[in-house]
Amino acid sequence: MKDSSGPWLSILLPVYNVESYLSECIHSIVQQASDDAGIEIIIVDDGSTDGSRGLAERLCAQFSQQLKLVCHNRNLGVSAARNRLLDEARGKFVWFIDPDDYILTGAIEKLRSVVGRHDPDMILCDYRKNRFWKRRAFFGPARRLSDDKRQLIRGVFKSRKMYCCVRVSKRLIWGDDLRFPVGRVFEDIATTPLLLLRTKNFYYIPEPWVHYRQRRGSIMDSVKRQPDVFDEMKHHDLARALLGYKDQLNKCLISRDASIDYYVADYCAKEFTKTAIRMMRAQQDDLASISMPERMTKLCSLWEACSPISFEQLTGHYLKRLRLVRYLMLHYFLFVRRQNIWH
């Protein structure tokens, strides 16, 4: 399959210090794409300081028909790398793959089939974290074309999976204005919800197409895996990622059922409570107990500003839905905020 104006698919890899994983990732793609001249694979090396760039150069020489390498002279961050990839892409569809992950066997053939039969704006899939552990990345209609944007937004927020690798989208819906926020992390959370609003129709395949690997040293690892460290800047980036989204919801989906607001609010509240717990566990000197209530209150305000309904209202929804653990956790931290205390 090949569009007369260019490739039908651009697979986009932002590379930074992933020498140990890059070859496996590239080979997993090339093995499935070698017989299709309508697929391009673009690598942006974002100023790697290990052997990633040299390895990428060798791989591009080996697979010169499909691989293209673009290099940044210095590290600009994953958002800048992904934006460069979007600008370089010529494909009708774009698929971001992190180079420490890899594509599972048969994924491209299944993607090609969906595109050929339905040509949706977006194709969604699941992912795998190890040999046996499949993770669902969407809750909604499967194996059929749907134009219900409400189902799309509700299903993604319910899954809580904003990863770029579990969605293939038309390059056209990105336009020239939707880009990753440079200088900030959690860039997928800042862009995926906006991309959903631009999607006219979608197709979900409830099968894992990607093996997702959370490696040591990654952004998510630095946030989740170090209980005694609280990176305030990264957590503020996380809290700011959805700022303004509820206004976009009100603009694009004036009439919508209450479940959408619930799942967006639930996403915000759960991320806030996880952040508050990490802050509580941290033992750094710069998080002295005297400043804890102020810091926690600021983060709570940032997350609540993203939520379509107030956190106090959300606690009532939790009770009605018998989500007792979430109710108790959110209720506790709201009490801490009101009382300006921290234990």
Q: Which of 184, 211, 238 is the last residue of a domain?
A: 211
Across residues 212-236, what is the average pLDDT?
Answer: 66
pLDDT at 3: 46
Model confidence at 283, pLDDT cuts 50, 70, 90, reads low
**Of the ranges 92-96, 145-149, 181-185, 309-313, which one carries the lowest mean pLDDT score?**
181-185
142 shares its domain with 268: no
pLDDT at 289: 47
- What is d(CA 58, CA 48) in angstroms, rounded to the nearest whole number? 15
pLDDT above 90 covers a percentage of the chain that reads 77
Mean pLDDT over the full length of the chain: 91
187 shares its domain with 44: yes
Say how many domains are in the chain.
Answer: 2
Across residues 186-214, what is the average pLDDT?
Answer: 96
Q: Is the pLDDT of residue 222 over 60?
A: no
Q: Is residue 216 part of a domain?
A: no
Q: Which of 211, 234, 262 is the last residue of a domain?
A: 211
Across residues 282-304, what is the average pLDDT?
Answer: 71
Domain range for residue 309?
226-338
Q: Is the pLDDT of residue 224 over 90?
A: no
165 shares its domain with 80: yes
pLDDT at 284: 52
Across residues 118-132, what is the average pLDDT?
Answer: 93
**Structure tokens belonging to residue 3:** 């569009």
Q: Identify the residue whose tokens are 């941290």.
A: 282
271 shares its domain with 184: no
45 shares its domain with 191: yes
177 shares its domain with 90: yes
Q: Is the pLDDT of residue 163 over 90?
A: yes
pTM of the model: 0.92
Across residues 87-115, what is the average pLDDT?
Answer: 98
Across residues 156-184, what is the average pLDDT?
Answer: 97
Is 197:153 a contact under the CB 8 Å cutoff? yes
pLDDT at 290: 47
260 shares its domain with 322: yes
Note the pLDDT tens digit of each residue in 230-272.
Answer: 787 888 899 999 999 999 999 999 889 999 999 999 999 999 9
Q: Which of 182, 211, 240 is the last residue of a domain?
A: 211
SS3 string, the chain, reads CCECCECCEEEEEEECCCHHHHHHHHHHHHHHHCCCCCEEEEEEEECCCCCHHHHHHHHHHHCCCCEEEEEECCCCCHHHHHHHHHHHCCCCEEEECCCCCEECCCHHHHHHHHHHHHCCCEEEEEEECCCCCEECCCCCCCCCEECCHHHHHHHHHHHCCCCHHHEEEEHHHHCCCCCCCCCCCCHHHHHHHHHHHHCCCEEEEEEEEEECCCCCCCHHHHHHCCCCCCCHHHHHHHHHCCCCHHHHHHHHCCCCCHHHHHHHHHHHHHHHHHHHHHHHHCCCHHHCHHHHHHHHHHHHHHHHHHCCCCHHHHHHHHHHCCCHHHHHHHHHHHHHHHHCCCC
Q: Is residue 321 part of a domain?
A: yes
